[in-house]
């Protein structure tokens, strides 16, 4: 029986879609002591993995999949690919009506019934952690029971259609023993010699102890489960031997358990042969030892989610922020010269445009490498979606469900944030004018957020504003900044510094 697992990637399409390899590895591994009678058949399944880039159109992807003549086509769904994936499913069913289409992943899980009700091209949605439920579905098909109520009705964690009605079986407990899940790397499923592999993801844990209201990830995993460190070490040794450009440790908050994070960093350092490290972490939990280990591990892609500094907003999204600990953590990252990005989210409950300006002013006072102002997506299944009306949050009904208004931000202000992002990029991220910004702030007493606002108004009045290149902005900006200083009776001593 042929099975084709696929996913549409955000960018290159060469990134490793780890979820698909977990599914394949779990299907191929020897069956447990009590095989259900059909599991040995799974070992003879012909399982292929195909990934596609966003720019390939849906019917082409469907034709590519159909060429493999799979009995089952499985799709891993995320917020960035769900719409296109559904369109691929429609085209695929037109080409081969008898292919069983199974969706899974964080975007399919909370929308399982909605998808099945609205998309006849989708047959089954696997909800939550997918390995066991997907294998049970494949086993049912292999035993000729895939289309029968008897075959599917006993599989926990799936939603499916029976006689035109959508049925959701009880949820499956996320109790998969990690020892039973073959490592996609150690089992040889992923060929690390492939030249197109540049960034390698690795999961050392599943789950998150936090409960952020805008996030769905933690709902799939009520508790954090860790892969054994011995396995993580073997995986790191193998991956790093191949010297990928970057290894991305996918854990929700890498340093949530500092002692374990330090052990992993030491393993990384021991086996590293020149790769860079990408992690998401909490700055408040950093200490000097951790930061020195991050530096030795070549962690030069660090994401730090702050989301908001407004205490009412933080309460509404169920997050905590400790300003002093954060300041200390960022100070350490700066001391060791690490590259990181601090992230804010825009139209959260109670978050006014002026709150974001204040947050930017405070965060820029820490001399960060970069601040990103991310748009809010109101994701299916989240607590924020359930309370969106209460917070006056209006958002797009299709993925990526972008918020365009809230109880604290008008539609016009949310639109203006695009220009604010551009101002941050040109005046700060480009690095050319950073010293000027700090001079205007420290000597002339002008807030950085005020300079951004002036930039937004000034750039909107430039003839042909939309067509101006970054290089041209770099030529125009010294004059703009000089005038800004002059309006405050201040003469700049520096114009730009690289
Ligand atoms: S946003 Fe990050 S920290 Fe918050 S619950 Fe989700 S994974 Fe955890």
Residue 427 CB neighbour total at 10 angstroms: 22
Say yes or no: CB of residue 306 within 6 Å of ligand 1: no
Radius of gyration in angstroms for the set of CA atoms belonging to the chain, rounded to a whole number: 25
Homologous superfamily (CATH) for 2-168 = Cobalamin-binding domain (3.40.50.280)
Contact 366, 330 (CB under 8 A): yes
- Cα of 271 vs centre of ligand 1, distance in Å, is 29
- Cα of 319 vs centre of ligand 1, distance in Å, is 9
User: Token pair for residue 329?
Assistant: 């953590």
Q: Which atom of ligand 1 is nearest to the CA of 215?
A: 6
Say yes or no: CB of residue 219 within 6 Å of ligand 1: no
Contact 462, 404 (CB under 8 A): no
Say yes or no: CB of residue 49 within 6 Å of ligand 1: no
- Residue 350 zone, left/alpha/beta (φ > 0; ψ -120 to 50; rest): left
Q: Report which secondary-structure segment, H or E, holds 472.
A: helix 470-487
Say yes or no: CB of residue 253 within 6 Å of ligand 1: yes
- Cα of 218 vs centre of ligand 1, distance in Å, is 7
Coil, strand or helix: which one is 251?
coil
Residue 359 CB neighbour total at 10 angstroms: 22
pTM for the model: 0.93
Q: Which residue's CA is the nearest one to ligand 1's atom 4?
A: 212
Homologous superfamily (CATH) for 183-409 = Aldolase class I (3.20.20.70)
- Cα of 251 vs centre of ligand 1, distance in Å, is 10
State how far Cα 187 lies from the chain centre.
26
- Cα of 142 vs centre of ligand 1, distance in Å, is 37
DSSP state of 131: H
Q: What is the pLDDT along the chain (498 residues), one digit of tens a residue?
A: 999 999 999 875 457 899 999 999 999 886 554 444 445 567 678 999 999 998 999 999 999 999 999 999 999 999 999 999 999 999 999 999 999 999 999 999 999 999 999 999 999 999 999 999 999 999 998 887 655 656 899 999 999 998 889 999 999 987 788 888 999 999 999 999 887 788 999 999 999 999 999 999 988 887 899 999 999 999 999 999 999 999 999 999 999 999 999 999 999 999 999 999 999 999 999 999 999 999 999 999 999 999 999 999 999 999 999 999 999 999 999 999 999 999 999 999 999 999 999 999 999 999 999 999 999 999 999 999 999 999 999 999 999 999 999 999 999 999 999 999 999 999 999 999 999 999 999 999 999 999 999 999 999 999 988 899 999 999 999 999 999 999 999 998 877 654
Say yes or no: CB of residue 217 within 6 Å of ligand 1: yes
Nearest CA to 204 among 348, 340, 18, 362? 18
User: Token pair for residue 425?
Assistant: 């990029």
């Amino acid at each position: 029986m042929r099975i084709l697992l696929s996913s549409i990637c955000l960018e290159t399409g060469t990134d490793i879609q780890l979820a698909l390899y977990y599914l394949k590895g779990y299907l191929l591994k020897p069956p447990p002591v009590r095989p259900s009678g059909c599991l040995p058949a799974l070992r003879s399944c012909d399982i292929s993995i195909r990934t596609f880039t966003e720019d390939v159109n849906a019917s082409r992807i469907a034709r590519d999949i159909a060429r493999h003549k799979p009995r089952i086509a499985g799709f891993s769904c995320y917020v960035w690919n769900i719409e296109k994936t559904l369109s691929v499913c429609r085209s695929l069913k037109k080409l081969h009506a008898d292919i069983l289409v199974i969706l899974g992943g964080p975007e399919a899980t909370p929308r399982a019934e909605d998808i099945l009700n609205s998309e006849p091209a989708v047959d089954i949605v696997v909800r939550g952690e997918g390995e066991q439920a997907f294998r049970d579905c494949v086993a049912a098909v292999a035993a000729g029971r895939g289309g029968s109520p008897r075959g599917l009705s006993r599989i926990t964690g799936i939603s499916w259609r029976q006689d035109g009605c959508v049925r959701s079986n009880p949820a499956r407990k996320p109790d998969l023993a990690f020892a039973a899940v073959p490592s996609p790397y150690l089992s040889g499923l992923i060929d690390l010699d492939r030249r197109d592999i540049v960034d390698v993801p690795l999961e050392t844990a599943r789950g998150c102890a936090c409960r952020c209201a805008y996030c769905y990830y933690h709902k799939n995993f009520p508790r954090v489960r860790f892969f054994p460190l011995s396995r993580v070490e073997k995986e790191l040794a193998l991956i790093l031997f191949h010297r990928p450009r970057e290894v991305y440790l996918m854990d929700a908050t890498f340093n949530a358990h500092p002692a374990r994070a330090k052990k992993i960093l030491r393993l990384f350092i021991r086996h590293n042969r020149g790769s860079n490290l990408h992690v998401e972490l909490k700055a408040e939990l950093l200490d000097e030892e951790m930061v020195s280990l991050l530096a030795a591990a070549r962690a030069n892609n660090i994401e730090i989610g702050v989301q908001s500094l407004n205490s009412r907003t933080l309460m509404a999204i169920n997050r905590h922020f400790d300003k002093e600990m954060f300041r200390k953590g960022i100070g350490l990252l700066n001391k060791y010269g690490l590259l990181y990005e601090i992230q804010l989210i825009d139209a959260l409950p109670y978050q006014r445009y002026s709150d974001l300006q204040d947050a930017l002013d405070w965060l820029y006072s820490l001399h960060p490498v970069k601040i990103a102002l991310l748009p809010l997506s109101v994701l299916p299944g989240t607590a924020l979606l359930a309370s969106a009306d209460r917070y006056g949050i209006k958002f797009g009904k299709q993925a990526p469900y972008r918020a365009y208004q809230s109880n604290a931000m008008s539609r016009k202000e949310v639109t203006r944030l695009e220009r604010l992002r551009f101002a941050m990029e040109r005046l700060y991220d480009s690095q050319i004018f950073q010293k000027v910004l700090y001079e205007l702030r420290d000597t002339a007493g002008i807030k950085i957020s005020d300079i951004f606002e002036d930039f937004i108004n000034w750039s909107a009045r430039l003839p042909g504003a939309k067509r101006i290149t970054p290089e041209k902005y770099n030529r125009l900006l010294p004059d703009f900044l000089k005038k800004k200083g002059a309006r405050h009776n201040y003469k700049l001593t520096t114009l730009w510094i690289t």
